[in-house]
């Protein structure tokens, strides 16, 4: 399944993709916001729900393009 994961994932709608990612990721640890620098990844560590060899994770981080997402959150009183 891992060999064709991208092909399967691309066929899913956004809700299905979100559920798959939620089931694979146990925790995401970020660097403190004060240490974020332009162009650097704020993610310090991702803990998965399954065991992964750290060498494989490093190789994936080095070889995959990154996607940057910007989100605006607003607090609205009712």
Domain boundaries, the chain: 2-63
Report which of 65, 69, 25 is spatially closest to residue 46, judged by C-alpha positions.
Answer: 25
User: Whole-model pTM?
Assistant: 0.54
Res 62 pLDDT > 80: no
Query: What's the rounded Cα separation, in Å, for the pair 77 and 58?
Result: 44
**What is residue 67's predicted lDDT score, i.e. its pLDDT?**
64
């Amino acid at each position: 399944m891992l060999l064709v994961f991208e092909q399967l994932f691309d066929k899913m709608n956004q809700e299905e993709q979100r559920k798959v990612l939620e089931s694979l990721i146990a925790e995401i640890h970020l660097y403190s916001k004060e240490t974020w620098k332009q162009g650097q990844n704020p993610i310090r560590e991702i803990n998965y729900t399954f065991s992964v060899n750290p060498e494989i994770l490093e190789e994936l981080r080095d070889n995959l393009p990154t996607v940057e997402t910007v989100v605006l959150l607003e607090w609205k009183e009712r």
